[in-house]
Amino acid sequence: MQLGFVIDHSRCIGCHACTVACKSENDVPLGSFRTWVKYVDRGNYPQVRRSFSVLRCNQCSDAPCVTICPVAAMRKEKTGIVEVDPKACIGCMACMQGCPYNSIFINEELGIAEKCNFCAHRAEIGLAPACAVICPTEAIIPGDFDDPGSRVSQLKKEHRLDARKTEAGTRPNVFYIDVEPANIDPAKTNAATGFLWANRVQSPQIDAQTFEALESKAQGRPATAKTSYDVHHPARWGGLITAYLFGKSLAAGIFLVGAKPLYDILSTDSSRFAPLSLALAIPSLIMLALTMAALVGDLKKPSRFAYIMIRPNFSSWLARGSFILAGYGGLLSFWIAASFLEWTPSATLGRFLVLLTTIAAVLGACYTGWLFAQAKARVLWMRRGLWLHLIVQAVLAGSAFLLLFGGGMLASGLDPDIARSALMISLALHLSFTLTEGRFAPAGREHEYERAHHLVTSGPYARAHWILGITIGTLLPLLLLALNGPPALSMMAALFALIGLFVEEDILVRAGQALPIS
């Protein structure tokens, strides 16, 4: 069974009865919507036409929200409905980043995700969803697409049906008859000039659309499709996610650059081995703890964070990453405990544990690239090779930290030239990745990726990107390091490099959510 909808827009009159019935039936909070109607005006006066689209969860056959949810709170039922388990949801909002249809929202009072569930409480007793019952023109037709005799299956055979964002590979189960392309493709309409009879909430999405509208007008191709009514979808991941990325880069990079035992293992002398020093293990663990604190702090249900460990969904890289970070933290804690107890493992065991810690550090640095690839709503995050760039950023962060704060650490065994060389190489690689990232669009999403990347290089984020991220945060440190001057110059370069890295990671988080997706 695969329940879904066919929505006939040759009948839809944009009356919002479906929205009102849904809110009443499901007690949807004020300001949030399980289904809503979008208005688009096309043409120029006096040749103007308004069209409508009913938007909602698409009950996807390959639902990205189910894949990315770290605690299996999102599940695909036997009916084909994608349902949320309110007793399991931790409010991490990963499902919102996975859904390319903007159909999931956070119930702020309960702290959990909610969405259209086909009025499951009605469907299980044979009743149609409230929106279909209330529609005065019968434009909303529910049914089972796996039943060849159902009305929706017949409509699918008889009509050319359209669906939203099929390029995302989700296999949606909401189809449209006679819908205007601009109503279901947010790239073909613009909300920059304001709404018809609603207040427009200022947001990164509006800033992005305003930039695109002004640029199109300057190029002599003003938009002919205007969003005249829509609901507000705020960006949900912000400063705490930037702190998580930055802290994770430091936690992994300090060990990867500064660990003398790692250099001993890589040396040809098999007898050389020294345990990890407290001077490296402690700051790495502190940064890791701050990273985990940022993750927990961003949850709407922080008291349920342990659910990731006790009921994980291992298809989610958020769940896998939590275990990676926990393992890395456990290994760092082992080295700290061993140092306090003055216990030195045998060379064989020590080398094995160092290799294990190294693998955990590398995976801790890069797994977010694979997590972001599961966020099908945020095409900028889906950049190919992001995982490798994150490893480079970890080395950059670690070497800069050691040069800036690691006088004692460097004195404990690491040659300062190694940290300086690591910073120079990682800065050069970081610059190369940053300047060429426009070429690494995910397959099938090239146009959308180009729009998002253009916001970084020429739009609202361009000044911070070019001035702070590239010039001050990358080129200036490279110049200072190339001068090979006194330690003060290296420390200055390290400080600028850390500032530039933080800015670039923050831009990635914010610009990735700036394009409207519904």
CA dihedral sign of residues 155, 158, 159, 165: positive
- In this predicted structure, the answer to whether residue 123 has a pLDDT above a threshold of 70 is yes
- Residue 137: pLDDT band (50, 70, 90) is very high
Q: CA-to-CA distance for 275 and 277, rounded, in angstroms?
A: 6
Token look-up 């490798």 returns 388
Identify the residue whose tokens are 């020429």.
458
Which pLDDT belongs to residue 50? 93
Q: Is the pLDDT of residue 435 over 70?
A: yes
pLDDT (mean) for 10-26: 96
Using DSSP's 3-state secondary structure scheme, residue 357 falls into: helix
Cα gap 511→162, rounded to integer Å: 29
Residue 259 has pLDDT above 80, yes or no: no
Q: How far is CA 314 from CA 67, 168, 175, 309, 419, in A?
A: 9, 21, 31, 10, 36
With a CB cutoff of 8 Å and minimum separation 6, the contacts of 119 are 25, 26, 127, 128, 129, 130, 131
Start-to-end CA distance of the chain, whole Å, equals: 27
**CA–CA distance, 36 with 31 (Å, rounded to integer):** 11
Sign of the Cα torsion 8, 19, 376, 186 reads positive
Distance CA 80, CA 57 (A): 12
Confidence band, pLDDT 50/70/90 cuts, at residue 265: low
In eight-state DSSP terms, residue 516 is -
Instruction: Pick one of 3.30.70.20, 3.40.980.10, 3.40.50.300, 3.40.50.1450 as the CATH number of 3-229.
Output: 3.30.70.20
Confidence of residue 436 (pLDDT cuts 50, 70, 90): very high
DSSP-based three-state secondary structure for 44: strand
- Residue 411's pLDDT band, with cuts at 50, 70 and 90, is very low
- Tell me the average pLDDT of the chain: 92
Interval 74-78 mean pLDDT: 95
Question: Hey, what are 203's tokens?
Answer: 């947001």
pLDDT higher than 60, residue 268 = no
Q: What is the pLDDT of residue 484?
A: 87
Asked if residues 91 and 299 have their Cβ atoms less than 8 Å apart, the reply is: yes
Least confident span in 116-120, 251-255, 345-349, 508-512: 345-349
* Domain assignments of the chain as residue spans, ordered by start: 3-229, 239-511
Tell me whether the CATH fold assigned to 3-229 matches the one assigned to 239-511: no
Torsion angle (degrees, nearest 10) of CA 266, 272, 275, 281 = -30
Q: Which residue has the higher pLDDT, 12 or 217?
A: 12
Least confident residue range of 258-262, 407-411, 445-449? 407-411
Number of Cβ within a 10 Å radius of residue 432: 12
CA dist., res. 82 & res. 104, Å (int): 11
Q: Give yes or no for a contact between 33 and 44, defined as CB atoms under 8 angstroms apart.
A: no
Under CATH, to which class is 239-511 assigned? Answer: mainly alpha
Give the phi and the psi of residue 110 in degrees, each rounded to 5: -95, -20
Give the residue-averaged pLDDT of 424-435: 97
